[in-house]
Amino acid sequence: MELDRLDQAILRALADDARLSIADLAPRVGLSASACARRLKALEEQGMIKGYHLAVDPRRLGYKMTALVRVTLDSQREEALEAFERAVVLSPSIMRCHLLSGSADYLLTVLARDMEDFEAIYRTELSRLPHVARLESSFAMRDVVDRLFPPSVLGASIPVPSRSTPPKRRST
């Protein structure tokens, strides 16, 4: 689906602050309140806007580690995949789960307070997931980019809001 300049402006404004009222959003994008409301409703109905979410900083809640865990299952039969996915949904420490192509079957994103916390999660949650044959973990040192939506949606020349922060440089 192609977005025109006004739809792009609406998405950019809401990416910066999803709490904007129609009255505040409309002048930012150069529309009347009623025209802005119609466009916003159309974006929602078309599924372009999946929802309005709160972005919490896990580090401020004490979660200092992000683990990326590659999971290989003992079987790729539909029953094994379904059992694994049902269990993942119920695991509170797993923030994201992606079905992969390639040597691993899934990639999990897990938050932990520290290495001791991750080890406990590994032992009590990850290693007990059904049909797991292998777990391989890597740890993110920092977020470089965490885009809110694909840049192609907004056109190449339009800056895309990002939740990432610039890297801190070490002084020598």
**pLDDT band at residue 158 under the 50/70/90 scheme:** very low
pLDDT average, residue stretch 108-116: 98
Structure tokens at 1: 């689906």
Residues 69 and 133 reside in one and the same domain: yes
Name which of 93, 95, 89, 130 is nearest 113 in CA terms. 93
In the chain, the number of structural domains is: 2
Residues 62 and 134 reside in one and the same domain: yes
Do residues 70 and 135 touch, judged by C-beta distance below 8 A? yes
d(CA 63, CA 14) in angstroms, rounded, equals 27
Tens of pLDDT, residues 18-49 = 999 999 999 999 999 999 999 999 999 999 99
Q: Quote the domain boundaries for residue 44.
A: 5-54
- pLDDT computed for residue 150 by the predictor: 74
* Residue 105 belongs to some domain of the structure: yes
Q: Which of 46-60, 112-126, 157-171 has the highest mean pLDDT?
A: 112-126
3-state secondary structure of 83: helix
Do residues 67 and 109 touch, judged by C-beta distance below 8 A? yes
